[in-house]
Amino acid sequence: MALVEPVPGAPAATADCGDERALVVADYHAGIEAGLRYERGVELRSDADGRRERLLALVERTDPDRVVVLGDLVHRIGDPGAGERDEVVALLDGLDVPLTLVPGNHDGGVADAYGDRIDVTDPAGVRRGDVGFVHGHTWPDRAVLGASTVCVGHEHPQVRLEDEVGGGRAEKAWLRGPLRIDTFADHYGVAPEALAPADHRPELVVFPAFNDRSGGTWINVEGQEFLAPFLPAGVGDADAYLLDGTRLGSFRRV
């Protein structure tokens, strides 16, 4: 059985961390509606309650020992605004398990705002058991790359699907495939064996965004660029999967 198993129908997975089992999500983006209003002039009613209820329902469904957020718990870069604070506090009040945040590029003020209620890791990631966790906006810590499975957020992967009459829609997707250790070894200026044994190459799992309003990278549309500095070079012939488990094959040929 894989160490990281997607929850069917949801942008979330469970992870076997050895001494505990975690529910893992990426890119929650609390307060995104306020950000969209400020950044783009887009007025949307807040879905804070919906996001919280979806996550709490997943906690009840999967019964984890903790929740791990792969970065961007909040949306506003810097000190969280009032709307974000209220949303995060309500989420924390509803959780009956600890929450660990691997900080993303939007989480600069989270440690100061909620440090007594959230376990905030180093931004370069953390390893729990044989699973590594990193947001993806920076290169991961070398220790993370020694895990059997490395979980990454930040990218918000989506695929564009077209029907027979030319209509199209975007669907959230997972990316899952062998991590190309040579890419990371070149970055750090070390031999690949210094990061992971030759017979123990990690798997890379790129998570879809939990937030329904955060957009994403269309991985099968020409001209779309990846956000993570180590993608797509850092992953081999990864497969794309829809949330319902449908395997689309190599993301490079979808």
Structure-token pair, residue 107: 């989480």
Strands (E), 9-136: 13-16, 21-25, 66-69, 99-101, 119-120, 126-128, 131-134
Structure-token pair, residue 161: 């699907």
| Kind of pairing between the strands at 66-69 and 13-16 | unpaired
pLDDT top residue among 31 and 15? 15
Residue 128 forms beta bridges with which residues? 131
Residues 105/134, Cβ–Cβ less than 8 Å? no
pLDDT top residue among 178 and 163? 178
pLDDT score, position 52: 96
CA atoms of 124 and 92, how far apart (whole Å):
24
108 pLDDT tier (thresholds 50, 70, 90): confident
pLDDT score, position 188: 95
CA atoms of 51 and 45, how far apart (whole Å):
13
Phi/psi zone of residue 230: left (φ > 0), alpha (ψ -120 to 50 degrees), beta? alpha
Structure confidence by residue, pLDDT tens digits, 198-224: 778 899 999 999 999 888 888 877 777
Structure-token pair, residue 138: 């920076």
pTM of the model: 0.92
CA atoms of 49 and 97, how far apart (whole Å):
19
Residues 239/184, Cβ–Cβ less than 8 Å? no
Structure-token pair, residue 50: 């919906």
pLDDT top residue among 205 and 161? 205
Residue % of the chain over a pLDDT of 90: 63
Query: Where is average pLDDT lowest: 80-84, 88-92, 119-123, 126-130?
Result: 80-84
Decide if pLDDT at 124 tops 80: yes
176 pLDDT tier (thresholds 50, 70, 90): very high
Mean pLDDT for all residues in the chain: 88
Residues 14/24, Cβ–Cβ less than 8 Å? yes
pLDDT score, position 219: 83
Range with top average pLDDT, 35-39, 51-55, 246-250 = 51-55
Structure confidence by residue, pLDDT tens digits, 68-88: 999 999 877 555 555 677 889
